[in-house]
Structure 1
Amino acid sequence: MKAQILFILCFIFNVTIAKEHYQFRHLTTSDGLSDNEVIAMLKDNEGFLWCVTSSAINRFDGYNVKQYLKTEDGTNLSTSVSQILIDKDNNIWIERFGYYFTYNRERDLFVNAQPLLQKYQLHSGANLQTIITDDHNNLWSYNGETMKVYSFSTQQSHTIEDLPENITFFSVKKDKLFYIDGNNNFHITDLLHKHTNVIIPLNEVLGTEKFLSYKFYVDDNLDIWIYSSNTEGLWLFSQNTKNTWKLRTIGKNTLLLKNKVISICEDNFHKIWIGLEYDGISIYDKEKQQHTHISQNLSPYSLGSNKVWCFYYDDENTMWVGTMRNGISYYNPHFFSFSKTMLPSTYDTSCQVEDHEHNLWIGTDGDGIYKVDPNGNITTFKKEQNNSFSNKINCMHVDAQNRIWIGTYLDGFGYYQNNCFHQQPFSDKFPRNPINNSIWSITEDNKGNLYLGNLKCGLHIFNPETGYFHTFTPQNSNLLDAHVMNVFFDKKRSVYMATCNGTHVLNTENHEIKSIRHNSKKSQFIQDTIQNNVYMDSRNLLWMGGREGLTVFDMRLDTIYYLNKSHRLEGNFVRGITEDNNQNIWVVTTDGVTKIEIQVDQHRHGYTFHCLPYAKNDGLQTSDFVHNSIYKSQNGHIIVGGNGGYYDINPNTKYYKNISRVIFTELKVLDTTINVDSLYSHHKILSQNIELTDKITLKYNQNTFKLSFSTMDYVRTHDIRFSYRLSGTSDQWISLESNYIAFNNMAPGTYELEVRATNSGGLWSNPSTLLIHIEPPIWLSIYAKILYLLLVITLFSYVWYRKEQKHKRRMHYKEMEFEAKKQHEIDEMKLNFFTHLSHDFRTPLSLIIAPLEEVLKTHQSEDIKPNLNIIHKNALALLNLVNQILDFRKIEIQEMKLHPEKGDYIEFIGDIIKHFSVYATTYQITLTFEKEIDTLSMAFDKDKMHKVLMNLLSNAIKYASTPGKITVKIWAEDEKVFTSVADNGKGIEDNEKCKVFDAFYQIADEKSSYGSGIGLHIVKELLSLHHGDIHIEDNLPTGAKFIFYIPITPMEQIVETECHIQPTEEEMVSLESDGKSENLDQNTLLIVEDNQDLRLFLSDSLKKEYHIFSAVDGLHALSILKKEHIDMVITDIMMPNMDGIELCHAIKSDIKISHIPVIMLTAKNDIEPLVSR
């Protein structure tokens, strides 16, 4: 292949590279400064910068400016403050119209300095002219005649003797007093030996006019710099011998000859900063005897104004420059991590390489190539007119033979060697054309083969010695994308390619291409498919840069890491990657530069990554970096291309200030700045400066506030990060994005606030602590809480008392309930006893009444008949009492059922009254029946209503007068039928009317002693079954009237209850039934009864008409039924062994005897229990 040699050198010129050594930051009115005319500056021991302007005293903490406009006594500080200084006790002094004021740190205001001057025994009052401090910060005062000095180490003052009058300017340094008298004679007095040994007549030596007013500056070598605001020029007196001084020249500097010098200051590098009236600053290097001129230009980091008025040099090597037009400009060599080397070009720097002679080759994006030699001389290579080689340089590479290989945009690639450019033609198989001639990246393997990434046509392999050329595309290989953005050879026979479809790796031995998509376990996947850069570092970590950040692949541990802006990467769009000699990774993105420190993670057996971002605050004048614009030079520096130049970064240069502590600088409550002793809502919050305060107390309605703080680091302020921790809310440190904390609606209580800061190296300071007490509202104060506690105790005591009373009542109720229960059990026992006794009485009563009635029917002897009638009457009364007891028992156990029947209610009542009329006559009582209606057909339980009326009539007869009258009246009203029974007896007291219906209640009367006390109770309950009721009224003039009602139920609504028994051929009949059995002539009758007397009585009564068999129980009866022909069985129900129900069931279950009718006898007065079985 024949190489085409092109001579494209257009012009070569040598210049000294212009580096911006002095880059300033600025503090102006836009940052809070009162105005831009700065008169004087200093820093106090706390680190605050104090600045005197033409309108106020300003204090700067690195973030905010606070202005002081008046003194304690109201003196206006907005004009004519000409001096500010600080003594060894950290007292700040200012002078206004010859009067001095000092700063009271505790009260945060300026006060009259007279008491302090008197304390130090210095001049004071109207005679005082000047106060200065020496290099030990002792105080010196002069009143026009004498000079006094106060030593803070000895705490004594003394007077300097033998001084001339009218000293116009003086200074003290290294135990020497320098001053100018009224005749412009310069004096130097040795304070240790107390004699003046140098006198220089300035007008004579300098050849100036007598009326000039001189000032001077004494540097660290005791060289004297003399200047005057009345004339141009600067003079230097150096100590020639011990006792002689010589006027020296300061080089040929026309700036000093044509400008007035306003102020002078020396830095720690023995450079003299000279402030000029209109031409900025001249910096004189005494060692090199060279001047550097600094003036205002268009750069944002240039001097703010050319009219310099004052200097102040602090302990952090920061030079503060006060100007008369644009506030303060301040410089520190550590302000910016980067200094930019400017090129004679306005184009972006796209790539850099260093050849074997340490020449730096810089490609630009449209302005050709620049070569910078080690001496800073620049050679420019640009495209000639009508030449085909492009000025748009994409990439460069230096091979082993020191050839500079160059990849261009649309013009292929070539190399530079021996002062000639050689354009390399493509192979015949891959012809050169604009579409495929954009080479984006070049690398070289250990055999001298070049690997070229093509923007659109894949990967090329080219051997310059043999001419071998091969191209890998998606069509002829496993390459997934033809856009190869970056290539990298890892020294292990692999070439990595960054493409628009992921990262690929080429084995240089067998040319096999593989795509890297995930780790071997497929547990992690590479998220960013569009890759711009690829780099293998010294740890064998593969770095892949895309548009969404960095992907780091640790192939040894098969682990993938991701880094982006959330990890403090300065932007996500990666433009270039390299590694420094300290194994730190440097990444350039579209937004800036990031240094990544890598540490081994012992716990996770992997790596941790700490990102240190750099942007405009670090001196970067551009943030839009281009592809491949980062390179590591042979001396280990990182070269980053920018617009119109490049940045040379020394990775070993660090600035880490040890942050001593965080200082609280301001308190705001609801956007109102709180000053010392000021009232906020009639409440004094600060009694001393917030810097000195360890506790603040706020009202409950002042719980929205803001606290500001600072570390007084003016050099790397943008690197400072704050975090805080608030006890009572969280134990975790919370990161802050600014230098303040805003609290909103804090709950009342006491909190401990801790604030700490980290410097640019990531070191945390010790936390500063502030106690914050939020007072509760009056309703939540301690007194209110005591009151609440007393109220709670009172309430608790009351609740406890009520609970105890309730407990006592409950216990009393339980006791009463227990007693009632016991009484009820006793009553139940009694009632059960009487019930059983009543059941037992009914059988004997039946044996009494039945024979007695037979006797009354058959025996008509008049002698015994009255006695028999008495027996019969009382036996019936006893039977009625027994029935009442049984009815009461059924009511108590809720077994009483209603059995309504169809009937005429008026006729029913009339029949009962007719029956009772005869009985009432025997007691000389007239029974009258009154009715408003003649007939009323309805449904009612005749048996129960019979008992109701019988009880009421019996009661009326019992309590009626003799002779007496009882009136029964019936009427209908509102679908109810009312019945009243009224007597003319004594009546019932009102307090007893509601009690007479209670069980066992008896009126205290001699007649009541004969009753049981349950009759009226039964009446009320029977009426309740009918859904009726009863009450008592007075029967005027005397007597009682019982009025009851039941609802009128129409005939058609009658429903037979479950207890109603339909007549059958075999109907059960009790002894109390009125039904009569059929006459069964000489039929065989089986009587089953366990009571012998009753069994014999029944047998005797029926033996005339029946053939009688008898049995004592059911079992006995079944044995007879199996042997004899029985036509009918009469059996009792309650019997031992087998009762009547079981006997009946056995008979009806046996087909042989199931035809035999059975009559069941019972002492019970209800048939429901029989039916239920």
Structure 2
Amino acid sequence: DKESGVVKRIKLSNESESVYINTIHRMDDGKLLIGTNGTGLIIYDSKKDTFACYNRDNSSIISNRIYTILSDGDKNIMFSTENGLSRFYPDENRFSNWTKERGLTTNHFNANSGVLFRNKNFIFGSIDGAVEFDKTMELPQNYVTELIFSNFKVFYNIVVPGEPGSPLEKDINEVETIHLSHNQDIFSLEVSTINYDYPSNIVYSWMLEGFYNKWSKPGDERLIQFTSLSSGRYTLHVRAISNEDKRTVIKERSINIIIDAPFWKSGWAILIYAVILFIISAIVFHVLLLRRQKKVSEEKINFFINTAHDIRTPLTLIKAPLEEVCETENLSPIGQSNVNTALRNVNLLLRLTTNLINFEKTDLYSSELYISEQEVSAFVEELIASFRAYAEARRIEFTCKSDFQYLNTWFDKEKMDSILRNIISNALKYTPEGGKVNISLSETNDTWSVEVKDTGIGIPSSEQKKLFKMHFRGSNAINSKVSGSGIGLILVWKLVNLHKGKIHLHSVENRGCTIKITFPKGSEHLGNAKKVSPTENPTIILNTNNNKDLPIYDAMKEQQTASAQRILIVEDNDELRDYLRQTLSSEYKIQTCVNGREALSVVKGYSPDLIISDVMMPEMQGDELCAVLKNDIETSHIPVILLTALSNEKHILEGLRTGADEYIVKPFNIGILKATIANLLVNRAILRRKYGNP
């Protein structure tokens, strides 16, 4: 302060670096304009004790090195720099520059070399001499023409408008929208301005709206390039910015860019994906539903199998003693008739349990057919023979005729047996005494047929459409008081369809019924069926008559009887186990066990000559016991007879494949069981004699 002489120390920067001052100019209002060597212009307000710093980063000043500052007091402030002259407008905080590029005679001025004339003209000293300026002279303003787009390239190749496959129909500078395919996602273009007045003052910044919504850092790079852009709609904004003042946008322009989605991302593709996803979801749901239904069906089948086992075991205890009574006791005619009635009803219950199991299996295993080549006449004659005694007892004329003598064709023997048994059984059951049941076999070039015709109660015409529905029984059948479950014909219908056959029905109430079933010949129509050898359909045929004429067999049989051989009985049902022990103990030494695990623990100590085992038992089943014994060298020679309620061929095969020697279905004939035991023991003795004395 010149008046007070007080000196105040001012810190020009908060940073640790030193500030080098080239010139200081005091304004009439007390402000100090400080020109620095590299820090720009610093304005100090002594009244407010504040600083304002202007440099290349925050203003349009031409240089950070300020050599001389001059002012005429009328707010005309000029200063020289290393790059030219600048005029400062304090009211606007704005700078206007003049360089050699824009017509200034020199570009570099000297430090502290300047003076203000009385006429208030400015004179600055430079390396090329003194330069005088009139204070009223206006420095050049920015001048620019249009912003130009050019050199559009796709995959680094220049795009020529109008060429085949070109995304441009006009020059890139004339279009408002660029439409590209999904495989044209690498492209570039150049930007430029026409500015002959001050070309170095132009820098460029761009923003791709829809991709990255921020402006790029201004620079002199004119090439704008994009790679691997996703499909979609974008807008490219380009700005020409003053290099002196980055806040000054000289020109701005935009262009739309559309990149098509590939087909697999298009709306139609998404719709197709949605449909496919829906179909897959539906299939998965359907598969899960089928699995759930299969699980439920398996549980139902297991229930029916267990129930059948529980039913067949008491049936065995009814049937076997009755048959033994018939063979060993002299019954009166009335007694014999009563026993025969009981046996017929036992067989009826047996067929009912078999139908229940087969009916449930058609739902779960409807696609499983085990076919083999069979001779039709022999198969049907053998089946019909099992019904002749029943037909004779009811005095029904039961006949069978065929228009061929020999016909080989393919079918599932077990399922075909179920089809014909149900049809024939119904015909006999609903035909009154003295009626007729005729069975006819016929063939054509491509098919063979079975026709069952009866003179029974028939089916009312109004109910014939319901015949093959679940649990349906005709009203006249119900009124006839003939027992039935209503599942036989629905089972037949399912099994016939499984064989690709057809059922034809003709019936008149109270006059009879004719059912004709037609099947294709050959096996081509059963493409999904599994072929098995006829020998794999086991049937148990016990014939001891042929052995009676063999002296070796008779001698060995007497020898074995005298030796009182040991038999191990494994059965979980107490009454059946006691019945077998009581029946067989007169001829053999008997040991009993209640399950397979107990039998396994005693078999080596007891050393039985033969084992009779039930299949379905707790802890260890009979087939598991058989498999363990047959795989042990010490017990593999012991004959095993399996008793079971499971009568279908699949289970019989499974039992025999475990190594069982015989497989007898409950309810069984006790005489057949005794004969089977005797045959196995005698045959084992013959083998020991044969190979023990070479």
TM-score (norm 2): 0.49
Task: Name whichever structure is richer in helix by fraction.
Answer: 2
Larger C-alpha radius of gyration, 1 or 2? 1
TM-score between the two structures when normalised by the length of structure 1? 0.31
Normalized per residue, the structure richer in strand is 1
Higher relative contact order (CA 8 A, sep 6+): 2
